[in-house]
Amino acid sequence: MTGRISEVFDSVQGEGIFLGEKQLFVRFHGCNLNCSFCDTKQDNFKEYQAHELLEEIKSYHDDYHSISFTGGEPLLQKDFLKELLFYTSCYGFKNYLETNGTLVDELEEVIDLVDFVAMDLKFPTSICQDKPLWQEHHDFLKVASRKQVFLKSVICRSTKVEDLEISLDLIKKINKAAILVLQPNYYEEDILTDKLEKFKKICLNNQVAACVIPQMHKVVGVK
């Protein structure tokens, strides 16, 4: 079994509640969504067997918070991911899954090998996609909540309050302790200040913990 990997590199986490933690990143090739704000270019990939990729991971010698399995969407390569997570767990690494929060059956098969889940909530008016993903997110969060999970939503000029309200109902129903990160679209960040403050107040009024965190790796100029 082989997996398609775009790149392996070490850096600091630039998004979400683990901002600033030193991580080793394994970027999986391919995604099942086509979000309008996506900034991940995946022109090339290298094929690995899981034990080969483990050896490359082990060649990095530093004290990492965790390995970030990111993408693309790692769960599209569920069988390869599961084998790799098993190896990294056995070797003593913590496994951090970054995911668009839509592939619940695939998550069910790997969740026992994951320590942290960084789950996207894709607002329909943010991603400019006709089909809402609320049911997928609902089912995914139920499984992800077996582990430490936080939620991340990209906020754009097009994002409507109605999407935020639906997401808050979902969080309150499934996992009231989950933190929601409101992440401004990097390309529109300078015009979103008032909207982000408004959205944060709505979250607090609904008793959902929320914070505004930009993509800080882009702000400070690291990978």
Distance, CA of 146 to CA of 140 (rounded, Å) = 11
Structural domain boundaries of the chain? 2-31+40-220
2-31+40-220 folds as TIM Barrel (3.20.20)
Which residue is listed with tokens 């609904």? 206
Tell me, what DSSP letter sits at residue 62? Answer: S
Residue-by-residue pLDDT tens, the chain, 223 positions: 899 999 999 999 999 999 999 999 999 999 999 887 777 777 899 999 999 999 999 999 889 999 999 999 999 999 999 999 999 999 999 999 999 999 999 999 999 999 999 999 999 999 877 789 999 999 999 999 999 999 999 999 999 999 999 999 999 999 999 999 999 998 898 899 999 999 999 999 999 999 999 987 666 666 6
pTM of the entire predicted model: 0.95
Structure tokens at 177: 């302790």
Which residue is listed with tokens 């059956």? 105
Which residues does 117 contact at the CB level (< 8 Å), separation at least 6?
A: 97, 99, 111, 144, 147, 148, 149, 150
Structural element, H or E, at residue 95:
strand 95-99
Distance, CA of 95 to CA of 107 (rounded, Å) = 13
